[in-house]
């Protein structure tokens, strides 16, 4: 008697086979992953799009060297479907959000993901899946830069570049929650949005040279890199800190900063359960809200990348995967 062969469950995912533009992203059907020990299987409801995604797509490999074919995406909001051996912190049906495995592939542009159980936190009460998915990478980046790296304190002056962007608009609110006075750069059309977030001094970088206009800043958050990082040094008071979240090149001003009596550091975000819980608490307290610029279905991941790469969105772009 021949035993019946069980076909592994399948799922939809976005894959790419080569480096290139948004057009290399395409919908595929693959085997559904299985959680290993200490891991959970999460049914993805939404996954947000980040600059890290389109930069990985364009160069055709992850930071750890993983090459195509692969599935992009780090930000996840969903429901625990299954738990692996040894997991006690989650049960099927729990609503979670997180940034699993970063900077290694997480495969969030898919109907299911597996990841270490403690790379997820409980979704903030009252927050839908779309907004929960928009939070992890951008909010953790802002939190780890401003709180863990720069130790922003009440009364300090904080300059946030690209303050209307995905990281920037969350960084503004985190800095305000820490009691800081916030200056933020953005085009004039976005200044009303910035004031609504709590920015004390919006700066139109197209009309004002921030390096000339701003002084006595304690902390600069730089998501742009290059010349912006170098020119930001002049805004810092002695002992101040420049935190860049862009991988440094030869122009990154570490030595120049040291000579000037300030600090320039590059920070790469990490999975962080404690940070996610702090972020969730701010959301539940009404002190942190995430702006969603657009939502698109999973199959339109290429369109989401096209939109993100314009650099003109205020807030985050989110892919909807399941109800």
CA distance 120 to 276: 8
Question: Does one domain contain both 190 and 205?
Answer: yes
Question: Does one domain contain both 142 and 260?
Answer: yes
Query: Could you read off the pLDDT of 71-82 as tens digits, one per residue?
Result: 999 999 999 999
pLDDT band of 314, cuts 50, 70, 90:
confident
Give the residue from 250, 266, 282 where a domain finishes.
266
Check which CATH number belongs to the domain holding 170 and give it: 3.40.50.720
Structure tokens at 295: 């939502």
For residue 209, being part of any structural domain is answered with yes
Q: Please give the mean pLDDT across all residues of the chain.
A: 95
SS (H, E, C) the chain: CCCCCCCCCEEEEEEECCCCCHHHCEEEEEECCCCCCCEEEEEEEEEEECHHHHHHHHHCCCCCCCCCCECCCCCEEEEEEEECCCCCCCCCCCEEEECCCCCCCCCCCECEEEEEHHHEEECCCCCCHHHHHHCHHHHHHHHHHHHHHCCCCCCCEEEECCCCCHHHHHHHHHHHHCCCEEEEECCHHHHHHHHHHCCCEEECCCCCCHHHHCCCEEEEEECCCCHHHHHHHHHEEEEEEEEECCCCCCCCCHHHHHHHCCEEEECCCCCCHHHHHHHHHHHHCCCCCCCEEEEEEHHHHHHHHHHHCCCCCCCEEEEECCC
Question: Does one domain contain both 229 and 149?
Answer: yes
Region 117-136: mean pLDDT is 97
For residue 273, being part of any structural domain is answered with no
For residue 4, being part of any structural domain is answered with no
Question: Does one domain contain both 220 and 200?
Answer: yes
Question: Does one domain contain both 153 and 178?
Answer: yes
pLDDT at position 18 is 96
pLDDT at position 311 is 79
For residue 107, being part of any structural domain is answered with yes
For residue 281, being part of any structural domain is answered with no
Question: Does one domain contain both 22 and 127?
Answer: yes
Strands 112-116 and 120-122: unpaired
Question: Does one domain contain both 158 and 260?
Answer: yes
Region 144-166: mean pLDDT is 97
Question: Does one domain contain both 63 and 77?
Answer: yes
Region 146-161: mean pLDDT is 98
Question: Does one domain contain both 188 and 153?
Answer: yes
pLDDT band of 315, cuts 50, 70, 90:
confident
Query: Could you read off the pLDDT of 25-66 as tens digits, one per residue?
Result: 999 999 999 999 999 999 999 999 999 999 999 999 998 889
For residue 188, being part of any structural domain is answered with yes
Q: Is pLDDT at 2 greater than 70 in this prediction?
A: no
What's this model's pTM, rounded to 2 decimal places?
0.94
pLDDT band of 4, cuts 50, 70, 90:
low
pLDDT at position 60 is 95
For residue 125, being part of any structural domain is answered with yes
Tally of structural domains, the chain: 2
Opening angle at CA 46, ends 224 and 147, nearest 5: 40
pLDDT at position 322 is 80
Question: Does one domain contain both 223 and 313?
Answer: no
For residue 123, how many C-alpha atoms fall within 13 Å in the half-sphere facing its CB?
24
For residue 25, being part of any structural domain is answered with yes
Question: Does one domain contain both 261 and 298?
Answer: no
Question: Does one domain contain both 145 and 86?
Answer: no
CA distance 29 to 27: 7
Check which CATH number belongs to the domain holding 300 and give it: 3.90.180.10
The domain of 29 spans: 10-135+290-320
Could you tell me what percent of the chain has a pLDDT over 70?
98
């Amino acid at each position: 008697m021949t035993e019946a062969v069980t076909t592994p469950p399948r799922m939809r995912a976005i894959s790419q086979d080569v480096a290139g533009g948004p057009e290399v992203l395409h919908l595929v059907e693959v085997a559904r992953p299985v959680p290993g020990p200490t891991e959970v299987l999460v049914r993805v409801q939404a996954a947000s799009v980040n600059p890290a995604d389109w930069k990985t797509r364009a160069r055709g490999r992850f930071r750890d060297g993983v090459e195509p074919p692969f599935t992009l995406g780090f930000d996840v909001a969903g429901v625990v479907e299954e738990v692996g051996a040894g997991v006690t912190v989650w049960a099927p049906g729990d609503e979670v959000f997180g940034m699993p495995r970063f900077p290694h592939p997480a495969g969030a542009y898919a109907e299911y993901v597996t990841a270490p159980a403690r790379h997820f936190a409980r979704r903030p009460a009252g927050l839908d899946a779309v907004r929960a998915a928009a939070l992890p990478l951008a909010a953790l980046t802002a939190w780890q830069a401003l709180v863990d790296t720069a130790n922003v304190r009440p009364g300090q002056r904080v300059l946030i570049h690209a303050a209307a962007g995905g990281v920037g608009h969350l960084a503004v609110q985190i800095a305000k929650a820490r009691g800081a006075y916030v200056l933020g750069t953005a085009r004039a059309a976005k200044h009303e949005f910035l004031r609504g977030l709590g920015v004390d001094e919006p700066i139109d970088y197209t009309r004002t040279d921030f390096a000339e206009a701003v002084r006595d800043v304690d902390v600069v958050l730089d998501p742009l890199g290059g010349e912006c990082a170098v020119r930001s040094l002049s805004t810092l008071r002695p002992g101040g800190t420049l935190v860049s979240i862009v991988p440094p090149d030869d122009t990154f001003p570490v030595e120049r900063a040291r000579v000037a009596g300030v600090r320039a550091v590059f920070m790469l975000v990490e999975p962080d359960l404690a940070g996610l819980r702090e972020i969730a608490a701010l959301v539940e307290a009404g002190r942190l809200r995430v702006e969603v610029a657009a939502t698109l279905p999973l199959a339109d991941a290429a369109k989401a990348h096209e939109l993100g790469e314009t650099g003109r969105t205020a807030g985050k772009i989110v892919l909807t995967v399941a109800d």
